[in-house]
Amino acid sequence: MFDGLKDKLGRFKDDVEEQADEPDDAEAEAAAESPPDAESEPADPAAPAEETAESPAEPADADDGGADESDSDDGPGLAKKTMLAATGKTIITEEELEEPLEQLELELLQGDVEMSVAREITDQIRERLVGETRKQVESGEQVVQRAIADALREVIGVGQFDFEQRLVDAEKPVVVVFTGVNGVGKTTSIAKMSRWLEERGLSSVLANGDTYRAGANEQIEEHAGALDTKIITHEQGGDPAAVIYDAVEYAEANDVDVVLGDTAGRLHTSNDLMAQLEKIDRVVDPDMTLFVDEAVAGQDATNRAREFNDAAEIDGTVLTKADADSQGGAAISIAQVTGKPILFLGTGQGYDDLERFDPDVIVDRLLEGDED
């Protein structure tokens, strides 16, 4: 996952390194031979030694925020650049970033990153890099990489919370309902979640609230059998809220920690199915509602996440088929457009293939192998 996006970010770093190159040899030589105020009148030979040209005052550090009269709206002038070269520093200007950032934004869009999110990422990078000064012993790539990492964490880390700790701290049973359209892997994600909970010492019961789809009972019963987990089902066409309510009662009577409730696949435009979800909210009052979609759906997954969150507020997202998604655009976008975190990635067909979404880990993957 993220191979395509990783390549795009790597190209951007190379472009910035090329555009924001260090001052050329002529500038550096000029800086070494004369102070920035070399155009001023020669010093009086009779003046005290500390005021003569042979003892110029130390140039102000670029980090102290001092103004340079040669600066323009487009960036620092030649005097400041040569001063920075003389003091072992360099600076990145907005003009130098313009073309690489425009190209990065275009490539993010091509990688299924939602438009407003692509713009947010490039704006964050611009804000962090323009006017950045560094010692020449630190490579330009390191400066750019740090800016990219900070910008990505800001965008994809929205709303993150400790999912496991919230379950541990909550009054039992904790009710978690899964929503999303048909065919994206909701039921399989529920089975994976049951295994994930078991590995952390938390028991669960499955509830098939998907009472409309033919074969739904058989599918979730097969998972329950493989996991040796209790399941609550009703006849096809029954009341989904009643199924999940019965599962809650079972959990209360048998000291089960978590109820995992499946629901019928629905679109936000399906009034009947949305009414069912609203009834589940009224009758069961779930502790969390998780939206499930495929990472490979790209922009469609991002749009659906926004629509589901608008129709019935979600608490987080599970992205399936993350192992088959080379771009990662949905994972980058969903948290930002909903304001709710991505909590898990489905990374394979096995019950153990459910990975906690960690923004720091994701950013490291995107930038790994690029540090000197």
- Name the band, by pLDDT with cuts 50, 70 and 90, for residue 182: confident
Q: How far apart are CA 120 and CA 100, in angstroms?
A: 15
What phi and psi values does residue 170 have, to the nearest 5 degrees?
Answer: -75, 155
pLDDT score, position 167: 95
- Name the band, by pLDDT with cuts 50, 70 and 90, for residue 59: very low
Residue 283's closest CA among 230, 233, 247, 234?
247
pLDDT score, position 143: 75
Taking the model in full, what pTM does it have?
0.74
Range picked from 23-32, 179-188, 248-257 for highest mean pLDDT: 248-257
pLDDT score, position 372: 39
Residues 6+ apart with CB under 8 A from 129: 16, 92, 97, 143, 144, 147
Task: Tell me how many degrees the CA angle 228-178-275 measures, rounded to the nearest 5.
Answer: 130
Q: Do residues 4 and 328 lie in contact, with contact meaning Cβ atoms separated by under 8 Å?
A: yes
Of residues 52 and 113, which shows the higher confidence score? 113
> Residue 258: is its pLDDT beyond 80?
yes
Domains of the chain: residue spans and CATH = 23-91 (no CATH), 163-357 (3.40.50.300)
pLDDT in tens, 67-94: 444 454 545 554 444 444 444 445 677 7
> Residue 351: is its pLDDT beyond 80?
yes
The reply to whether omega before 76 is within 30° of 0 (cis) is: no
Residues in the chain, overall count = 372
Q: How far apart are CA 212 and CA 195, in angstroms?
A: 26
What is the pLDDT averaged over residues 262-281? 75
